[in-house]
Amino acid sequence: MLRSVILAASRSTRMERLVETAPLTRGVVRRFVAGTSPDDALRATGELVANGLAVSLDVLGEDTETAEQAVATRDAYVSLLASLRGAGMTPAAEVSVKLSALGQKFDEQLAYDGARAICVAASEAGTTVTLDAEDHTTTDSTLDILTKLRTDFPTTGAVLQAYLRRTEADCRELATAGSRVRLCKGAYKEPESVAYQSTLDVDKSYVRCLNILMSGDGYPMLATHDPRLIAIGEDRARWFDRSPDEFEFQLLYGVRPEEQARLAAEGYTVRVYVPYGTQWYPYLMRRLAERPANMAFFLRALRAK
Please state the separation of Cα 58 from the chain's center in Å. Answer: 8
DSSP E strand stretches across the chain? 54-59, 93-97, 129-131, 158-161, 180-184, 219-223, 248-252, 270-276
Q: Which stretch binds ligand FDA (CB under 6 A): 34-42, 166-174, 225-233, 275-283?
A: 225-233
67 is in an annotated binding site: no
Identify which of residues 90 and 142 has a Cβ nearer to ligand FDA in the complex: 142
Q: Of the candidates 22, 67, 117, 255, which one interacts with ligand FDA according to CB under 6 A? A: 255
- 256 interacts with ligand FDA by CB under 6 A: yes
Stretch that binds ligand FDA, among 45-53, 82-90, 118-126, 246-254 (CB under 6 A): 246-254
161 is an annotated ligand-binding site residue: yes
Site for ligand FDA contains 132 (CB under 6 A)? yes
Annotated binding residue 262: no
| Cα distance between residue 301 and residue 252, in whole Å | 22
Give phi and psi for 105, each to the nearest 5. Answer: -75, -15
Of 58, 85, 116, 132, which one is the catalytic site residue? 132
Question: Rounded to 5, what percent of the chain is helix, strand, coil?
Answer: 55, 15, 30
186 is in an annotated binding site: yes
E-strand spans in 98-168? Answer: 129-131, 158-161
- Among residues 73, 128, 167, 250, the one that binds ligand FDA under rule CB under 6 A: 250
- Shortest distance (Å) from residue 256 CB to ligand FDA: 5
Pairing status of strand 270-276 against strand 219-223: unpaired
132 is catalytic: yes
User: Does 204 appear as a known binding residue?
Assistant: no
The piece of 19-27, 65-73, 168-176, 180-188 that touches ligand FDA (CB under 6 A) is 180-188
CB 199: neighbour CB atoms within 10 A? 12
Q: Which of 74, 85, 150, 182 is catalytic?
A: 182
* Coil, strand or helix at 188: coil
Do 18 and 302 contact (CB within 8 A), yes or no?
yes
Q: For the CB of residue 21, give the shortest distance to ligand FDA in the complex, in Å.
A: 25
Q: Backbone dihedral region of 256: left (phi > 0), alpha (psi from -120 to 50 degrees) or beta?
A: left
- Per the annotation, binding residues are 98, 161, 185-187, 224-225, 286-287
Q: Which residues are catalytic?
A: 132, 182
Binding site for ligand FDA (CB under 6 A): 132-133, 159, 161, 184-188, 223-227, 250-252, 255-256, 273, 290-291
